[in-house]
Amino acid sequence: MTFDIDMIREVYNRYPERVAAAREAVGKPLTLAEKILYTHLWEGNASEAFGRGTSYVDFAPDRVAMQDATAQMALLQFMQAGKDKVAVPSTAHADHLIQARIGADKDLQEGINKNNEVFNFLSSVCNKYGIGFWKPGAGIIHQVVLENYAFPGGMMIGTDSHTVNAGGLGMVAIGVGGADAVDVMAGMPWELKFPKLIGVKLTGRLNGWTAPKDVILKVAGILTVKGGTGAIVEYFGEGAESMSATGKGTICNMGAEIGATTSTFGYDDSMRRYLAATGRKDVVDAADKVAEHLTGDAEVYANPEQYFDQVIEINLDELTPHLNGPFTPDLATPVAEMKKKAAANDWPTDIEWALIGSCTNSSYEDLTRAASIVADAVEKGIAPKAILGINPGSEQVRYTAERDGLMDTFNKLEGTRIFTNACGPCIGQWAREGAEKQEKNSIVHSFNRNFAKRADGNPNTHAFVTSPEMVAAIAISGKLDFNPVTDTLTNANGDEVMLAEPTGHELPSAGFAVEDNGYQAPAEDGSGINVVVASDSQRLQLLAPFTPWDGKNIDGAKLLIKALGKCTTDHISMAGPWLRYRGHLDNISNNCLIGAVNAYTEATNAVTNQLDGSVDEVPNVARAYKAADVPTIVVGDHNYGEGSSREHAAMEPRHLGVRAVIVKSFARIHETNLKKQGMLGLTFDNEADYDLILADDTFNFTDLADFAPGKQLNLEVVHADGSTDNIKLNHTYNAQQIDWFKAGSALNLITMQNNA
């Protein structure tokens, strides 16, 4: 059965007319990304061409997905919006809160016991408001979406930055903060700055040890963590068509790591095969009727330079396996060069743990390719030097893999641990023994992110991202710099042997199977369902609206922290142990900016309270300013807020009295999250002004009354010696976003409009 097939057919019915209107408005052949964007305009048929990177446009996404760690806040906000039911098909997925420790069954039970209150809350809110709920153990949101909901040419948003994974089935799927999801679920338009377009032409064909993961590891090396900001990446060419849909998903998934708004691929046979194998032949039939519209125009792919803002070409025949890291996903090293580079940088090369999983690489194909390496090693009598840990992407993948003997194969390798179908170590839900000793070490994994502390909480763990087949090879060799193309291993007989190249199955030859997929359909009529949040709960807290702007300039503000260098959402609102407070704003605010590096001392979680000169943890100092009614600001470097979609990174500072975040540049989702929560997210007009800001400065906004689109704001910086600097701040607020600021938050505005 296909979920929401009628909605999908309707989308396709509109396609020919809407694409024709877009073609006329734009006046030239269209990329796939443009077709999807223009067929999802809130206004209906396009009547004008939008400026890439400049126009704010209202869209009407087809669906919404949320995961447990962000859904709590999204749904707490939705409950305030005063609606009976969600306006578009929506789902929530319990995947982030389950820890990997012993193995699947025990960990899942423990996860349920520990998070019962939150799961019950999610299950009842979903039931009440018409939202599908995927229970703990059902799988990772993005794999479940790919298997059940994604469809070529569709548009969705999701409260998780890796929502972009659905580009593997030709969607425009975009990660957003919960407040954006609330707009769409409440039946309102969703606004996005019309993206720029990057074209990636793939020639040749993957071979040997090279996997789809290497395409995105290579692209990340070229574009860096900022290079995709504000852009949709569209892949095309024979190389694209020769890859599986889940392989395409891997590539789109990690587009989040280059800051891309999303990534996508044109509709092709790999998608037909995947849709059919996952029980959605009806989607294939419907898509085939409009197939010409579900890919870019031939002229575009023939002369990409004329249609994309930037074009990259990668020859898959020549692409080699890569390892990206440590600490940042764009530091790309070809496996063949790792020996030299690891030595030069003093990266530990002994590996104790190698992990396969996450929404990036946990498909059936991924498991078969990794299993082929494991089977080869077992057959050749090579004992593994590291522990291999595996989190399957979904119950459907796990069940099928088990039926097809893949789990047996993995289990034949000494020490292998199969964890729950969940995020697990990818988001710090990993009780890694000994991590508390904080020893310098390296791990490899097939995930997407490798920021400091992310997997095991140890700041000295050097994490490298690579393909599942390379993870398996490195688990067996125990060496980060092992190159399976050239290096040998010693087996039990003392012979020098080589690992065979990976082989795999794109799809299970006997079809996918599952006994209980873990889905809970919502009640037809949810009006009688009562959602309870205990007033003394430590995990959940009903939200109180943020205070509206008082119409005055912000005066006498103090600096909470000036962050140095990389300040991702993991630095602003850490995950791991803090995931337990994702539904309780006051409690989770105790992690606010604790990972950010203080620019004056290079210490983390230690800032000076200018009211009494004491040095304390960031959240404590923020609370002290708040209690004294002193507004605060945060200053940051480039790409501030990179990484996750978690709006906690905006709500916590807001809750603790921070009024403005002033940085050299922002990551897209975080900038929007700040705006939505009624904060000032501003950038230095002159980046060098970052250096002017001193720890004991006082800040006065002098022209907030004139806050208007396209107009700079002035900030008076009063230094302790009485001297002043006036600095110019840029912003990207449009008129509506300024209204959010004035109302105190976007949600306040919706509620006001509902009550009007």
Q: Is 101 a catalytic residue?
A: no
Using alpha carbons, list the distances in angstroms from residue 605 to 453, 573, 597, 613, 616: 15, 12, 7, 16, 8
Provide the 3-class DSSP secondary structure of residue 93: strand
- Both tokens of 69, joined, read 């760690």
Q: Is 105 a catalytic residue?
A: no
Q: Contact region for ligand MIC (CB under 6 A) — 106-114, 159-167, 613-621, 676-684?
A: 159-167
- 311-350: b (≥16 Cβ within 10 Å) or e: bbebebeebebbbbbbbbbbbbbbbeebbeebeeeebbbe
Exposed/middle/buried for residue 302 (C-beta within 10 Å: 0-12, 13-18, 19+): exposed
Closest CA to 207 of 82, 131, 318: 318
Q: Pick from 160, 234, 481, 506: which binds ligand SF4 (CB under 6 A)? A: 160
Could you give the dihedral angle defined by the CA atoms of residues 407, 444, 353 and 440, in that order, rounded to the nearest 10 degrees? Answer: -170
* Contact call for residues 727 and 699 (beta carbons, < 8 A): no
Ranges within 137-156 binding ligand SF4 (CB under 6 A)? 140-142
Residue 142 Cβ vs ligand SF4, minimum distance, rounded to whole Å? 6
Contact status: 60 vs ligand MIC (CB under 6 A): no
Instruction: Point out the catalytic residue in the list 96, 571, 654, 731.
Output: 96
Q: Pick from 4, 160, 506, 637: which binds ligand MIC (CB under 6 A)? A: 160
Contact status: 162 vs ligand MIC (CB under 6 A): yes
Q: Pick from 162, 218, 322, 623: which binds ligand SF4 (CB under 6 A)? A: 162
Residue 70 Cβ vs ligand MIC, minimum distance, rounded to whole Å? 4
Instruction: Point out the catalytic residue in the list 68, 95, 214, 330.
Output: 95
* Residue 503 CA from chain centroid, whole number: 29
Ranges within 61-90 binding ligand MIC (CB under 6 A)? 69-70
Could you give the dihedral angle defined by the CA atoms of residues 257, 263, 265 and 270, in that order, rounded to the nearest 10 degrees? Answer: 40
Instruction: Point out the catalytic residue in the list 161, 644, 645, 745.
Output: 644
Q: Pick from 258, 427, 563, 624: which binds ligand SF4 (CB under 6 A)? A: 427
Could you give the dihedral angle defined by the CA atoms of residues 122, 126, 129 and 132, in that order, rounded to the nearest 10 degrees? Answer: 160
For residue 450, what are the contacts with CB-CB under 8 A and spacing of at least 6?
A: 324, 325, 326, 327, 328, 329, 463, 464, 465
Ramachandran quadrant class, 521 (left: phi over 0; alpha: psi -120 to 50; beta: rest): beta
Contact status: 632 vs ligand MIC (CB under 6 A): no
Closest CA to 132 of 143, 151, 145: 145
Q: Is 14 a catalytic residue?
A: no
Contact status: 161 vs ligand MIC (CB under 6 A): yes
Residue recorded with tokens 């396209």: 710
Pairing mode of beta strands 632-636, 172-175:
unpaired
Q: Contact region for ligand MIC (CB under 6 A) — 154-162, 233-241, 277-285, 686-694?
A: 154-162
* Contact call for residues 327 and 452 (beta carbons, < 8 A): yes
Q: Is 96 a catalytic residue?
A: yes
Query: For residues 269 and 240, what is the distance between their CA atoms, to the nearest angstrom?
Result: 11
Q: Is 580 a catalytic residue?
A: no
Q: Contact region for ligand MIC (CB under 6 A) — 155-163, 213-221, 486-494, 535-543?
A: 155-163
Q: Pick from 202, 284, 356, 423: which binds ligand SF4 (CB under 6 A)? A: 423
Contact status: 448 vs ligand SF4 (CB under 6 A): yes
Q: Pick from 193, 280, 558, 646: which binds ligand MIC (CB under 6 A)? A: 646
Q: Which is nearer to ligand MIC, 449 or 453 (CB)?
A: 449
Ranges within 390-449 binding ligand MIC (CB under 6 A)? 427, 449
Contact status: 397 vs ligand SF4 (CB under 6 A): no
Q: Pick from 31, 99, 363, 644: which binds ligand MIC (CB under 6 A)? A: 644
Q: Is 646 a catalytic residue?
A: yes
Q: Pick from 31, 72, 148, 358: which binds ligand SF4 (CB under 6 A)? A: 358
Residues that bind ligand SF4 (CB under 6 A): 96, 140-142, 160, 162, 358-359, 423, 426-427, 447-448
Residues that bind ligand MIC (CB under 6 A): 69-70, 96, 160-162, 175, 427, 449, 575, 643-646
Catalytic residue annotation: 95-96, 160, 449, 644, 646
